[in-house]
A and B are shown apart, each in its own frame.
Chain A
Amino acid sequence: MYNLKEVVNKPNRLTSGHRMCAGCGAPVTINGVLRALKEEDNAVISVATGCLEVSTCTFPYTSWKNCSFIHTAFECASATLSGVETTYNKLKKDGKISDDKVTKFIGFGGDGGTLDIGLQSLSGAMERGHDITYICYDNGAYMNTGTQRSSSTPHFADTTTTPSGKVSNGKAQQRKDLTEIMVKHNLPYVAQSALIGNLKDLYEKSEKAIYTKGPTYMSVLSPCPRGWGYPSEDLQTISKLAVDTCFWPLYEVCDGKYKITYRPAKKLPVEEFLKLQKRFKHMFKAGNEWMIEEIQKEVDKKWEYLQMMEKITNEEN
């Protein structure tokens, strides 16, 4: 059973003194995930280039504690991790390292390093079936370099490369759904989580992802106050709205079986989530109502798809 008062006693593996922006969702996500790791277990962590990587290991400082950390390039976090895992198994087999301790292999990447640049290495590592866990902290743009669009940027969002104005309405394309792509890799465990409530959802899913044998993937919505344009203190509020509007549904897929882990008591209209953010400001101007309607349609379609998949995959034949 999850007990917040107990789990916060575990020492954090991402410690203070990093240079992430004030109010960033990523360190909350990372510590939330790593808290699910048993205290006595080792961890090898590989991070793709991104905000997290450049601001947690700025030479000669590192914020990573009690774990092995590998600084790797944008496209190869999962390739590096799969190599380390294979080497570890070989050394263990040859008796060169003792096997009295459990070592887990965890990769972290932003949406740029996961959905765009790191996709080929991630797909490869997942297909080869290494015993690794990959976690994408999804903030929906290249925030590290100043909010350029990524394939995870939501439809109509204003970024520096898809500015909204007279000519353009923000990003013209829909979001790529990597969680579904990962499900189609036939992984034993795939999940989508967010920073809501007392982080029970994140903890439980991380525990399953880390301790399930084989490749596992998890996507966590990590709000970015700078890129999204909302007051930095609203981290929890905005995550809750994303989940309650079904913009970011929480679900998990164990061996192909879908399970929606959170059903909002009252599904809110999507503008409740959009109106807090500066990147969607242009959608609330007169004459732009069709944009909100379109996003609502996309959200409803995805929500219906998930409910249908849950029903189909859990039917007993």
Chain B
Amino acid sequence: MKKEYSLGGTILKDGNSENFKTGDWKNKYPYHDKEKCKNCMMCVPFCPESCIRHEDSKLLGMDLDFCKGCGVCSKVCPFHAIEMKSDINK
């Protein structure tokens, strides 16, 4: 297979790291409790991975494709609506 490179090794598409999933780094999963959540958006700017999805002032949840399981969101949440769990199914 022939590899294709751009001139000078420049990266031609901005933000293409979105194709590189970092979700398999984690050993804890964030569990978002929609009933406790008041959509205050406090967790959104604190997520180092920018992977907390929201739309029209409603929090949709964490994108587990990128979440590294650091737990910052669960600590930042004033309503304790995010819990870190070691098993995704529990």
Residue contact A16 to B66, C-beta cutoff 8 Å: yes
Q: How far is the CA of A59 from the CA of B17 in the complex (A)?
A: 10
Within 8 Å of chain B (Cβ to Cβ): is A198?
yes
Q: How far is the CA of A31 from the CA of B52 in the complex (A)?
A: 13
Main SS at interface, chain A: loop
Partner of A66 from the list B14, B17, B48 (CB cut-off 8 Å) is B14
A14, A16, A67: which has the most chain B beta carbons within 10 Å?
A16
A-chain residues with CB within 8 Å of residue B66 when the two chains form the complex: 16-17
Partner of A4 from the list B42, B69, B75 (CB cut-off 8 Å) is B42
Residue contact A23 to B15, C-beta cutoff 8 Å: no
Within 8 Å of chain A (Cβ to Cβ): is B87?
no
Partner of B45 from the list A24, A31, A60, A66 (CB cut-off 8 Å) is A31
Q: How far is the CA of A236 from the CA of B70 in the complex (A)?
A: 12
Min Cβ gap B19→A in Å is 7
A-chain residues with CB within 8 Å of residue B63 when the two chains form the complex: 16
Closest to B26 in A: A22
Chain B interface: which of A81-89, A163-171, A227-235, A287-295?
A227-235
**Binary interface profile of B, 53-86, with partner A (CB < 8 Å = 1, else 0)?**
0100100000101101111101110000000100
Within 8 Å of chain B (Cβ to Cβ): is A35?
yes
Q: A14-B50, A16-B50, A35-B45 are in contact. Are A232 and B18 (CB under 8 A)?
A: no
Interface size class of A (residues with CB under 8 A): 35 or more
Q: A16-B17, A16-B51, A57-B11 are in contact. Are A28 and B70 (CB under 8 A)?
A: no
Min Cβ gap B16→A in Å is 6
Residue contact A60 to B11, C-beta cutoff 8 Å: yes
**Binary interface profile of B, 4-42, with partner A (CB < 8 Å = 1, else 0)?**
000001010111111111100110000000000000111
B-chain residues with CB within 8 Å of residue A27 when the two chains form the complex: 48-50
Q: How far is the CA of A23 from the CA of B49 in the complex (A)?
A: 9
Q: How far is the CA of A22 from the CA of B68 in the complex (A)?
A: 5
Q: How far is the CA of A198 from the CA of B46 in the complex (A)?
A: 9
Q: A17-B22, A22-B48, A23-B71 are in contact. Are A233 and B84 (CB under 8 A)?
A: yes
Within 8 Å of chain B (Cβ to Cβ): is A266?
no
Across chains A and B, which 6 residue pairs bring their CB atoms closest together, nearest first? A65-B15, A233-B71, A17-B17, A23-B70, A22-B68, A22-B70
Chain B residues within 8 Å of A, Cβ to Cβ: 9, 11, 13-22, 25-26, 40-42, 44-51, 54, 57, 63, 65-66, 68-72, 74-76, 84
